[in-house]
Amino acid sequence: MRNGMTQSLLILLVMLTASVASARTVTIIPFSGDSIHTQIRSAARDALSIFLMDQKEDVRGNSLTEYTRDRQMADKTAESVGATHYIEGRVTRLGGRAIVQVSRFAIGQKAPEYTDRMTAGSPSDLETVIQRLARSLVTGERALANEDIRTVSEREQSPLRRRIANHYVGVSLGGAVLGLDTTEFLPGMGFNWLFDNREVLFGADFRGFGLGSTNQGYFELAIGGYYPLSQKSTTAYVGGGLALSGASLEQGYNEHSDEYYEEYDRKDDVGLSIFAATGLLIGRTSTVSLRPEVGYSVGTYHVAGQLVHGPRFGITLGF
């Protein structure tokens, strides 16, 4: 008995839905639009009527020949043909393209109850766009998402528009402190590539430290991502990344207390490290950039029993 009651309720719901859908009748107000010939606006109105009827919408004709902004006149026009709603259309030309917008109004309402729009890539593309908008008005599914194999517009078939990203190849000078045995300052230099897609910065760097040093050395091949803190030509940024790095250390010792010389034992290792960095990108909108940066690296390996880690700084000139 419960199943029978459930089925009855479902049937009643379907009948009510169908009656509500069938209760809506529409009429189409003449299309408006700037830089669009009257015949094109008239053809768009007729095409919309045809495609709405294809979707089983009850469409009523009316005697208006010119677009009206007067809501009372539009209401009276709809009432005079027995329609419960009226549809306004607008075609706006932009070069070789045209934006087509449709809005459905209930009689007595000043604001539209449903609006959608789509861009036609050419005059011949207008048919496809009107067909998609008619489907949108009936089903409520947006025109940009209701395509099928026969209604893909020329505009959608065109290659995706891409924005140009900036990138720099640069050379840097700076230094680092490893914190191995002593806090010796290690001068260094590097080469890098920076990619700027406006939302985020990506970098690839090769850096070497310990130039001219006799007992310590460090290198890293790093990739990182950085978030710019503004859209200005000069902006601060923060980020971090991963690096394949290596460190070496020469330790002196004296095995013979009665001798006046030292022997050296060299220890080194290679491994992964992580780093965080902050800096300033100067000349982001230029073909030449200057980038001072401070970072801190922490390795996943030890040299001479000590974890490889420490700060670094540098300034990069990019082209």
| pLDDT per position as a tens digit, 291-303 | 999 999 999 999 9
Q: What pLDDT is attached to residue 184?
A: 83
Q: What pLDDT is attached to residue 9?
A: 59
Domain ranges of the chain: 24-157, 166-318
Range 24-157 classified under CATH 3.40.50.10070:
yes
Q: What pLDDT is attached to residue 187?
A: 93
How many C-beta atoms surround the C-beta of residue 291 within 10 A? 23
In which residue ranges of the chain is pLDDT below 50? 1, 14, 16-21, 260
Q: What pLDDT is attached to residue 50?
A: 97
CB 227 within 8 A of CB 200: yes
> Taking CA 280 as the corner, what is the angle to CA 279 and CA 285, rounded to the nearest 5 degrees?
140
Q: What pLDDT is attached to residue 215?
A: 81
Residues ≥6 apart with Cβ < 8 Å to 101:
89, 90, 92, 115, 116, 117
How many C-beta atoms surround the C-beta of residue 188 within 10 A? 24
Local structure of 173: helix, strand or coil:
strand
CB 77 within 8 A of CB 27: yes
| pLDDT per position as a tens digit, 11-51 | 555 454 444 445 899 999 999 997 888 999 999 999 999 99
Q: Distance (Å, rounded) from C-alpha 75 to C-alpha 55?
A: 24
Q: What pLDDT is attached to residue 159?
A: 82
Q: Are strands 25-28 and 58-60 parallel, antiparallel or unpaired?
A: parallel
Q: What pLDDT is attached to residue 163?
A: 78
| pLDDT per position as a tens digit, 87-116 | 999 999 988 899 999 999 999 999 999 999
Local structure of 49: helix, strand or coil:
helix
How many C-beta atoms surround the C-beta of residue 208 within 10 A? 18
Q: What pLDDT is attached to residue 138?
A: 96
Q: What pLDDT is attached to residue 161?
A: 77
- With CA atoms as reference, report the closest residue to 20 among 110, 106, 129: 106
Q: Distance (Å, rounded) from C-alpha 289 to C-alpha 168?
A: 8
Residue 84 gets which letter from DSSP?
S
Would you identify the CATH topology of the domain 166-318? Porin (2.40.160)
Which residues sit opposite 208 in a β-bridge? 189, 219
CB 313 within 8 A of CB 294: yes
The mean pLDDT of the chain is 88
